[in-house]
Structure 1
Amino acid sequence: MKENKKLIKDVLKKTLNREDKFENLVLNLALKKMAGAKDDAAGVFYSKKQKRVIMASKTLEGVYDIPEGTETIDDNAFWGCAYVEEIKIPQTVTRIGNEAFARCMSLKKLVIPASVKTLGYNPFIDLNSHIVDCQSPHFVIENKLMYSADQKTLIACLTDAAMVIIPKTVEQISDFAFTRRRNLKKVVIPDTVKAIGSDAFSDCDSLEEIVIPASVSTIEGHAFAYCDKLKKITFLGVVEHVARTTISNCESLKKIIVPEGASKHYIKQLHVPLELEDIVMENVKKGDKHVEVSEE
C-alpha cells in the first residue's frame, strides 16, 4: 500500500500547484481517502474493510463484479473507465456517488439494485436509458429521464435527443443533470421548476436558446456554462439568486431578455461586463408566463 500511496501522491503533485492552499487541501484529502485502501486483481481500489469502492483503474475492461458486502460506490469511482462493458452492483450497495459511472463510453449494461437509496449528482453522465436499468424504488426512469420517486427532482438526462420536454411534476433540476448532452437543441422547462443546479446544462454544445420560467428562484454556478451555440436566454421573472458563472464561456450569446425594470439586477448578478451590457434587454412584460423558443 505504501507504493500505491506514493504513486497517488506523485501523480497529484504533478497536477497541483504546491503554493496553492486549496490544492494542497485536495491533495491531503485524496491521500486520507486512500489510506488503507486495497486493490483487487482488476485494479479496483476498496476501503480497508471493503465497504466502499474508491477508485477503478482506467484500464478496467469487460464485465466487472463488485463484491457482496460493498455498501458505497464513491464519487467518480468508475469515472472514465472507457473499456468496461458491464458493472454488476450487489444488493448490499445503498449509495452511489457523484459521477460514479460518468464517461464509461463502452458500458452496455448497468443495473441499479433495489437496495440503492441514495444517488449523488448525475452518476450517469454520457450514458443512455437503454444501458441503465433502475430497480430501486427510490428512483424512476420515464421517457429517458431519471427522477426521484416522487418525480419532483430530475436527476439525469439519459438521452441524446435534440428536444426534451421536462414534465410539470419537476421542481428541481439537479447538478449536472443534462451536462454534455451535445445533441440537445431545445429544452422546455415548466413553470413548476424552482431551482436549477450547478452545471445542469453545461457543455450542451447544440443548445441555442433557453427560457427560464418565473417560478425559478435559484440558478447555481455554471448552470448553462460552455454552451457554445447559446445565443439567447430569456428570464420570465426575477431570479433571486443567479450565480455569476451561470452563463460563463457562452461565446455566442447575443441576447439576455429580462422583465421590465430587471436589467440592473441581472447585470449585477451575472457580472455582465460593461462592454456587453447592451445585450441585456427588458422585453418581458409583467405578467408574461411564457415566451416561445424560436425554431431558427
Structure 2
Amino acid sequence: MKNLVRGLLFAFLSLILIPGVVVDASNPLDFLTYEINDQTVTITGFQGNPVDLVIPSEIDGYRVVSIGDAAFSFCNSLVSITIPEGVLHIGSGAFMSSEALKSVVLPSTLQDLGDMTFYGCFGLTSITLPENLKKIGTGTFAYCYRLTSLIIPNSVTSIGDYAFSHCKGLTKITIPDSVTDMGKAPFEESVQLAAISVSVNNIGFIDIEGVLYDRKTEKLISFPCKKNVTRFMVPEGVNAIGDHAFEGCKMLVDIVIPNSVTSIGDSAFADLDQMYQVKIPEGVASIGKKAFEYCYGLTIIHIPDSVTSIGGGAFKDCPNLSIRCNSGSYAEEFAIENNIRYKIVDGS
C-alpha cells in the first residue's frame, strides 16, 4: 500500500504545479478547479481554504460527473462536502488526509469509490453509501480512526485490499449478498470489531460466529479482535490463514491451527503479545512475511519439516522466542541464518 500512497502524493503535487481551469475568485465556485472533457466536468482540485462545500451539479452548462484523483487531498480546512446527483466516480485519494472532514453527502448516482478515497480522514465518524455503489477500492476508508458506523449497500460487488484497515472505531459491519470479490485484509487492525456478519445469501463469503471466511471455509479471512475469547480453534478444513487475519487481536492467548492448513499469510498473527506458544501442524508449507511480528510473549513455536518457506521478519521483535524443529529441517536453517534460538526435537 506504500507505493499507492507515494503515487497519490505525486498526483497531488502535480495538481499544484500544473495549472488547471480555475473559476474566477468572485464567483461562488471560487474554491474549485475543474476540467471539461467530452461535455462533462471533472472536479480536479481546490484553492484557498474551503470549509463547507456544496459542489454544483453543472458548471458552465456542463454536468459534473466525477471528482478527480487527489482533488481534495490534504485539504485540512474542509469540514463538510456535498457531492451532487450525477456524479458517477470519485477518484483515488480524492479526500486523502483531509483530517478535519466530518460530513460527506454522496449522490445516489455514485458507482465507485477509488483507491484510498477517504484514507486518513480522521474526523469522519459516519457516512451513508448510496444504493447504486458497486465498488469500494483499495484502502478506501483506511485509517478513518473515528468511523464507527457504515452500512455496505446491497449493490456493492467488490471490496478492495485493506478497504477498512485501521478503522479502530468500527464496531460492526455486514457484508451483503452482492459482494463477490473481496481483497486481502479488508479489516486489518480494525481492533474494535466484535463480529463480521455476512448475509446468508452471499455466494462468496460466510461468517461462522462472527469470523469471516470464504464460502467454502477454505480460507480464514478476518478474525474480529473484540470477539470475547482468549482461545480460538481454527475449524478443520481451513487451508489458508489470510494476510493480517488475527493481527492486533491482543485478547488471544492460544490459537489452535488444524492439520488442514497449508499456508499462513503475511502478518497473520502479528502483534499478539499475549500468545506464548504455537504449534504449526505438519502440512503447512509456507509462513508469510512478518507472520508473528511483535509477538513479544511468544516463547516456543513448533515448526514441522513440511515448512519450506518462511518470509522475512516472520519473528521480528519476538525477543523470547525459541524454535522447536527437527535436525536438517528448513526451520533449523532459518533459525541459524536469522540468529534465532532453537532446539532440535527430532519428532519427539
Normalised by the length of structure 2, the TM-score is 0.66
User: Which residue number corresponds to residue 81 of structure 2?
Assistant: 41
Please point out which of 133, 144, 147 is paired with 2:197: 133
Distance change in 2, residues 1:234/1:24 (3 Å): closer
Structure 2 regions of 5+ residues with no counterpart?
Answer: 16-43, 45-67, 73-79, 84-88, 93-108
Please show how residues 51-66 of structure 1 align to structure 2 within 5 Å. 51-54=111-114, 55-56=117-118, 57-62=121-126, 64-66=127-129
Structure 1 regions of 5+ residues with no counterpart?
Answer: 1-21, 289-296
Partner-residue secondary structure (3-state), 1:268: helix
Do the aligned residues in 2 keep the contact of 1:174 with 1:200 (CA within 8 Å)?
yes
Matched, 1:280 2:342: yes
Name the aligned partner's letter for residue 213 of structure 2: Y
Matched, 1:188 2:256: yes
Work out the CA distance in 2 between the residues paired with 1:244 and 1:61.
Answer: 36
User: Which residue number corresponds to residue 165 of structure 2?
Assistant: 102
Residue 270 of structure 1 and its aligned partner are, at CA, apart by: 4.9
Residue 191 of structure 1 and its aligned partner are, at CA, apart by: 0.7
Deviations 1:225-268 (A, max 9, x none): 11111111111324111113211111121x21002332xx3243
User: Which has a greater percent of helix?
Assistant: 1
Please point out which of 142, 145, 160 is paired with 2:208: 142
Distance change in 2, residues 1:283/1:82 (3 Å): same
User: Which residue number corresponds to residue 313 of structure 2?
Assistant: 245
Residue 127 of structure 1 and its aligned partner are, at CA, apart by: 4.2
- By relative contact order (CA 8 Å, sep 6+), the higher-ranking structure is 1
Do the aligned residues in 2 keep the contact of 1:244 with 1:271 (CA within 8 Å)?
no
User: Which of the two has higher C-alpha Rg?
Assistant: 2
Partner-residue secondary structure (3-state), 1:27: helix
Residue 103 of structure 1 and its aligned partner are, at CA, apart by: 3.1
Residue 26 of structure 1 and its aligned partner are, at CA, apart by: 5.2
Matched, 1:73 2:136: yes
Distance change in 2, residues 1:137/1:193 (3 Å): same
Distance change in 2, residues 1:108/1:183 (3 Å): closer
Work out the CA distance in 2 between the residues paired with 1:139 and 1:120.
Answer: 12
Do the aligned residues in 1 keep the contact of 2:258 with 2:281 (CA within 8 Å)?
yes
Residue 42 of structure 1 and its aligned partner are, at CA, apart by: 6.8
Residue 30 of structure 1 and its aligned partner are, at CA, apart by: 5.1
Aligned residue pairs, count: 256
> Which range moves more in the overlay, 82-91 or 115-124?
82-91
Partner-residue secondary structure (3-state), 1:140: strand
Distance change in 2, residues 1:201/1:134 (3 Å): same
Name the aligned partner's letter for residue 27 of structure 1: R
User: Which residue number corresponds to residue 334 of structure 2?
Assistant: 269
Distance change in 2, residues 1:58/1:165 (3 Å): same
Deviations 1:138-185 (A, max 9, x none): 111113321100000010112252111011110000000000001111
Partner-residue secondary structure (3-state), 2:331: helix
Please point out which of 200, 212, 235 is paired with 2:268: 200
Distance change in 2, residues 1:204/1:144 (3 Å): same
Residue 25 of structure 1 and its aligned partner are, at CA, apart by: 7.9
Deviations 1:59-94 (A, max 9, x none): 1124x1112332221222212323223212222211
Partner-residue secondary structure (3-state), 2:148: strand
Name the aligned partner's letter for residue 59 of structure 1: G
Normalised by the length of structure 1, the TM-score is 0.76
Do the aligned residues in 2 keep the contact of 1:213 with 1:237 (CA within 8 Å)?
no
RMSD across aligned positions (CA): 2.9
Distance change in 2, residues 1:96/1:230 (3 Å): same
Please point out which of 137, 148, 152 is paired with 1:89: 152
Do the aligned residues in 2 keep the contact of 1:261 with 1:282 (CA within 8 Å)?
no
Please show how residues 207-218 of structure 1 align to structure 2 within 5 Å. 207-218=275-286
